[in-house]
C-alpha cells in the first residue's frame, strides 16, 4: 500500500538529510505509529506519502502507483484516496461544522445530493450528530479535531495520515480521538500516525516505526513507544479487558521516561533487543532510577485513586462494562453515562503532571513523556463512533468513488465533471458554488509559497492564493 525504497530527503541548506535511505513497507489495513524525537523526520515522511514533497533519492509507491509517475496536474486526484489530519485541526473558521466537512466534497465536485447525505452520516460516525450548525469557535478542541477527522474521512479514503492529531488535546479527549481512529482503521482504512504521545502508543500496541536522524532505527509489531514497553496480552484497546495490567505499563512508561531502556541509535529492526519490563526495572542502573521510581509511584497512586473513583461511579450508575469485542467488526459499545465525575479527569491530569519527569532528552533515543493517556483513560472515553449500518447507499457510493479514484484519472473537464456525477460544474474555488460548465479550471503554477486548505488537503492543484478565496487554513479556534 505504501512502500519506500531507499528514500532520502534532503532540504536545501541542511547539512543532514531529513530522511536517510529509508526502506519500509506499510500494508493495507495496518495501523502504524511513526515515532521519534523532534526533527527525526516524521512529518517529512508523511509529506512524501502525500506527494507534497519529492524525495531527493529513492522511490515511493502509494496505492500501487510510483509517485514519480503522477504529474503535478494529477496529484489532487491521487490525494483523494488519502485523508489528512493535522495537530492544529485547520478548520475554516467562517464555516459551520457541516460546511467544513462538506467542503472536502464540494472541492472535488460532488453533487449536492451526495453532500447532503454523506456529511450527516460522517458527523454521526465521529460523534458530532446534531452539531452541524455549530461554528468552530463553539466547539471544544476535541470536537474541532473530530470535525477535521470527519472532513478527512468523508470521502472514504484508503489511507488516513495523521500528524500529531492529539498534540493539542487533553488526555481524555485524546483517548476518544484514538478510539475513533482505531474504529476507522477497523473498518479497513490504513492509518499512519506521527506522534510523541508515549502513553497512546503504549496502550494501543500497534506497529511502531521509530525514526532517529532520518533513519529507521526500529520497526516492531505490537509495540510500545520505547523499546521494552510491551504489553503482551493486548492487541486492541477497543477489546481490552478493563483494568488489566495497568500498573505494569505505567511502570514501563515511567522507566522509559528516564531512559532506563534505550534504543541503540545505530541498531536496525533486526538487532533491537526487547527487554522484559520486569527485568529492565531490576537491572536498571541509570541515574534516572530514582526519578523513574518516583514517577512510577505517582502513576500507581493516581491509578489507585482512579480505581476508587471508578468503583464509586460504577456502583452509582450500575453500568455494565462491555464484553471484549471481536477485533474485526466490533459491536456497538454499550451506552455509558454521559458525564463522568469531573474529579476523574482532574486525577488523570494530576497523574500526568506528577508522573512527568524533567529529564534532558537523550538525542539517541525517542524523547518519551510519561503516559498522558493510560489504558483506563482510553477505556473510559465516551464512545464517539456509531457503527454504520451494514450497507447503505452512501457507503456503497463512496466505495465506488474510492474504487474509481484508484484507476488512472484525467483532470476534470466539463465532460469529466458530468461523468463524475457532478451537478453541472466543478467547484474549484472552494466557495460551495460550482464552476460554470465551460469555464476552465484554475491554472496550475509550478511552485506556490502558500497553499490554501484545499491544496493542503490535496483536493486541488497548487495555484497559490486567489483573491476572495475563503479556504485559507486556520489553526485551532478557541
Ligand atoms: N521545509 C524544510 N526546509 C528545510 N529543512 C526542513 C524542512 N522541513 C523539515 N526540515 C528539517 O528536516 C528535519 C526533519 O524535520 P521533520 O519536520 O520531518 O521532523 P519531525 O520528526 O516531524 O519533527 P517534529 O516532531 O518536531 O514535528 C529537521 O531537521 C527539520 O529542520
Which of 13-17, 55-59, 118-122, 296-300 has the highest mean predicted lDDT (pLDDT)?
A: 55-59
* Predicted confidence (pLDDT) at residue 176 exceeds the cutoff of 90: no
* Predicted confidence (pLDDT) at residue 273 exceeds the cutoff of 80: no
- pLDDT, position 372: 57
| Cα–Cα distance, 45 to 42 (Å, whole number) | 5
Q: Sorting pLDDT into bands at 50, 70 and 90, what band is 170?
A: confident
Task: State the distance from the centre of ligand 1 to the C-alpha of 53, rounded, in angstroms.
Answer: 12
Ligand 1 in reach of 15 Cβ (< 6 A): no
Nine cell digits for residue 163: 500528524
Task: State the distance from the centre of ligand 1 to the C-alpha of 450, rounded, in angstroms.
Answer: 18
Ligand 1 in reach of 167 Cβ (< 6 A): no
Nine cell digits for residue 36: 521519534
More reliable by pLDDT, 241 or 75 = 75
Ligand 1 in reach of 11 Cβ (< 6 A): yes
Q: Sorting pLDDT into bands at 50, 70 and 90, what band is 230?
A: low
* Predicted confidence (pLDDT) at residue 320 exceeds the cutoff of 70: no
More reliable by pLDDT, 378 or 292 = 378
- pLDDT, position 254: 31
Question: Which of 95-109, 317-331, 390-404 shows the lowest per-residue confidence on average (mean pLDDT)?
Answer: 317-331
Question: Which of 42-56, 155-169, 211-225, 361-375 shows the lowest per-residue confidence on average (mean pLDDT)?
Answer: 361-375
SS in 3 state form for 8-42? EECCCCCCCCCEEEEEEEECCCCEEEEECCCCCCH
Task: State the distance from the centre of ligand 1 to the C-alpha of 152, rounded, in angstroms.
Answer: 23
More reliable by pLDDT, 277 or 392 = 392
Ligand 1 in reach of 36 Cβ (< 6 A): yes
Q: Where are the domains of the chain?
A: 2-81+157-380
Q: Sorting pLDDT into bands at 50, 70 and 90, what band is 177?
A: confident
Task: State the distance from the centre of ligand 1 to the C-alpha of 38, rounded, in angstroms.
Answer: 8
Ligand 1 in reach of 361 Cβ (< 6 A): no
| Cα–Cα distance, 127 to 129 (Å, whole number) | 6
Q: Sorting pLDDT into bands at 50, 70 and 90, what band is 441?
A: very low
* Predicted confidence (pLDDT) at residue 42 exceeds the cutoff of 50: yes
From 14, 17, 19, 39, the mutation candidate for ligand 1 (largest count of ligand atoms within 8 A of CB) is: 39
Task: State the distance from the centre of ligand 1 to the C-alpha of 153, rounded, in angstroms.
Answer: 26
**Residues 6 or more apart in contact with residue 55 via CB below 8 angstroms:** 7, 8, 9, 19, 48
Ligand 1 in reach of 43 Cβ (< 6 A): yes
From 8, 33, 40, the mutation candidate for ligand 1 (largest count of ligand atoms within 8 A of CB) is: 40
State yes or no: ipTM above 0.95.
yes
* Predicted confidence (pLDDT) at residue 53 exceeds the cutoff of 80: yes
- pLDDT, position 458: 54
- pLDDT, position 375: 62
Task: State the distance from the centre of ligand 1 to the C-alpha of 456, rounded, in angstroms.
Answer: 17
Ligand 1 in reach of 367 Cβ (< 6 A): no
Q: What percent of the chain has pLDDT over 70?
A: 47
Task: Express each pLDDT in 250-270 by its tens digit.
Answer: 333 333 332 333 333 333 333
Which of 7-16, 342-351, 374-383 has the highest mean predicted lDDT (pLDDT)?
A: 7-16
H-type alpha helices, 318-406: 342-355, 375-380, 393-405
Task: State the distance from the centre of ligand 1 to the C-alpha of 20, rounded, in angstroms.
Answer: 13
Task: Express each pLDDT in 11-31 by its tens digit.
Answer: 999 999 999 999 999 999 999
Task: Express each pLDDT in 75-116 by its tens digit.
Answer: 888 988 999 998 888 899 999 999 999 998 988 888 999 999
CATH topology of domain 2-81+157-380: Rossmann fold (3.40.50)
- pLDDT, position 460: 53
Average pLDDT, the chain: 64
| Cα–Cα distance, 32 to 52 (Å, whole number) | 20
Task: Express each pLDDT in 131-144 by its tens digit.
Answer: 999 999 999 998 99
* Predicted confidence (pLDDT) at residue 298 exceeds the cutoff of 90: no
Task: State the distance from the centre of ligand 1 to the C-alpha of 284, rounded, in angstroms.
Answer: 33
* Predicted confidence (pLDDT) at residue 318 exceeds the cutoff of 80: no
What letter would DSSP give residue 166?
Answer: T
Q: What percent of the chain has pLDDT over 90?
A: 33
Question: Which of 63-77, 237-251, 381-395, 451-465 shows the lowest per-residue confidence on average (mean pLDDT)?
Answer: 237-251
More reliable by pLDDT, 243 or 425 = 425
Closest atom of ligand 1 to 194 CA is 22
* Predicted confidence (pLDDT) at residue 335 exceeds the cutoff of 50: no
Question: Which of 36-40, 195-199, 453-457 shows the lowest per-residue confidence on average (mean pLDDT)?
Answer: 453-457
Q: Sorting pLDDT into bands at 50, 70 and 90, what band is 2?
A: very high
Closest atom of ligand 1 to 40 CA is 21
Task: State the distance from the centre of ligand 1 to the C-alpha of 43, rounded, in angstroms.
Answer: 7
Nine cell digits for residue 15: 547539512
More reliable by pLDDT, 1 or 308 = 1
- pLDDT, position 281: 32
* Predicted confidence (pLDDT) at residue 385 exceeds the cutoff of 70: no
Q: Assign 3-state DSSP to the chain and report helix, strand, coil percentages, each to 5.
A: 35, 15, 50
Atom 30 (ligand 1) nearest CA: 39
Instruction: Tell me how far CA of residue 329 lies from CA of 71, 161, 387, in angstroms.
Output: 38, 22, 9
- pLDDT, position 136: 94
Q: Sorting pLDDT into bands at 50, 70 and 90, what band is 59?
A: very high
Ligand 1 in reach of 17 Cβ (< 6 A): no
Atom 6 (ligand 1) nearest CA: 11
Burial 9-21 (b: 16+ CB within 10 A, else e): bbeeeeeebbbbe
Q: Average of pLDDT values for 218-234? A: 71
Amino acid at each position: 500500500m505504501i512502500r519506500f525504497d531507499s528514500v532520502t530527503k534532503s532540504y536545501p541548506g541542511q547539512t543532514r538529510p531529513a530522511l536517510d535511505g529509508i526502506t519500509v513497507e506499510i500494508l493495507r489495513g495496518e495501523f502504524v505509529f511513526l515515532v521519534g524525537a523532534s526533527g527525526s523526520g516524521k512529518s517529512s515522511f508523511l509529506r512524501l506519502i502525500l506527494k507534497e514533497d519529492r524525495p531527493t533519492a529513492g522511490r515511493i509507491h502509494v496505492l500501487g502507483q510510483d509517485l514519480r509517475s503522477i504529474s503535478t496536474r494529477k496529484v489532487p486526484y491521487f490525494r483523494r484516496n488519502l485523508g489528512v489530519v493535522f495537530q492544529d485541526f485547520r478548520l475554516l473558521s467562517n464555516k459551520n461544522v457541516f460546511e467544513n466537512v462538506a467542503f472536502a466534497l464540494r472541492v472535488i465536485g460532488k453533487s449536492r445530493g451526495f453532500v447532503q447525505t454523506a456529511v450527516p452520516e460522517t458527523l454521526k460516525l465521529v460523534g458530532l450528530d446534531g452539531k452541524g450548525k455549530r461554528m468552530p469557535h463553539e466547539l471544544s478542541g476535541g470536537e474541532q479535531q473530530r470535525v477535521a477527522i470527519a472532513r478527512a474521512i468523508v470521502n472514504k479514503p484508503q489511507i488516513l495520515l495523521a500528524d500529531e492529531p492529539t498534540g493539542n488535546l487533553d488526555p481524555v479527549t485524546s483517548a476518544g480521538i484514538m478510539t475513533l481512529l482505531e474504529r476507522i482503521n477497523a473498518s479497513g482504512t490504513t492509518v499512519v500516525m506521527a506522534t510523541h504521545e508515549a502513553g497512546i502508543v503504549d496502550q494501543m500496541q500497534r506497529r511502531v516505526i521509530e525514526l532517529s536522524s532520518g533513519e529507521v532505527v526500529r520497526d516492531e509489531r505490537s509495540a510500545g513507544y520505547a523499546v521494552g514497553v510491551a504489553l503482551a496480552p493486548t492487541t486492541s484497546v477497543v477489546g481490552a479487558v478493563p483494568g488489566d495490567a495497568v500498573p505494569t505499563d505505567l511502570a514501563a512508561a515511567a522507566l522509559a521516561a528516564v531512559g532506563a531502556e534505550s534504543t541503540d541509535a545505530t541498531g536496525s529492526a533486526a538487532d533491537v533487543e526487547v527487554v522484559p519490563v520486569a527485568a529492565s526495572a531490576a537491572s536498571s542502573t541509570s541515574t534516572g532510577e530514582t526519578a523513574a521510581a518516583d514517577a512510577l509511584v505517582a502513576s500507581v497512586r493516581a491509578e489507585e485513586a482512579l480505581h476508587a473513583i471508578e468503583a464509586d461511579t460504577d456502583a452509582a450508575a450500575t453500568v455494565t462494562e462491555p464484553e471484549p469485542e471481536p477485533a474485526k467488526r466490533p459491536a456497538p459499545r454499550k451506552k455509558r453515562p454521559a458525564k463522568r465525575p469531573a474529579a476523574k479527569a482532574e486525577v488523570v491530569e494530576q497523574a500526568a503532571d506528577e508522573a512527568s519527569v524533567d529529564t534532558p532528552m537523550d538525542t539517541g533515543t525517542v524523547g518519551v513523556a510519561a503516559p498522558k493517556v493510560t489504558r483506563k483513560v482510553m477505556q473510559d472515553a465516551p464512545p464517539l463512533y456509531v457503527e454504520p449500518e451494514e450497507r447503505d447507499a452512501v457507503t456503497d457510493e463512496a466505495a465506488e468513488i474510492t474504487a474509481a479514484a484508484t484507476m488512472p484519472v484525467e483532470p476534470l473537464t466539463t465532460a469529466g465533471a458530468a461523468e463524475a456525477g457532478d451537478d453541472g460544474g466543478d467547484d474549484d474555488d472552494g466557495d460551495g458554488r460550482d464552476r460554470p460548465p465551460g469555464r476552465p479550471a484554475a491554472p496550475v503554477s509550478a511552485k506556490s509559497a502558500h497553499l490554501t486548505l484545499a491544496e493542503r488537503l490535496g483536493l486541488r492543484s497548487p495555484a497559490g492564493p486567489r483573491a476572495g478565496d475563503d479556504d485559507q487554513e486556520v489553526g485551532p479556534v478557541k
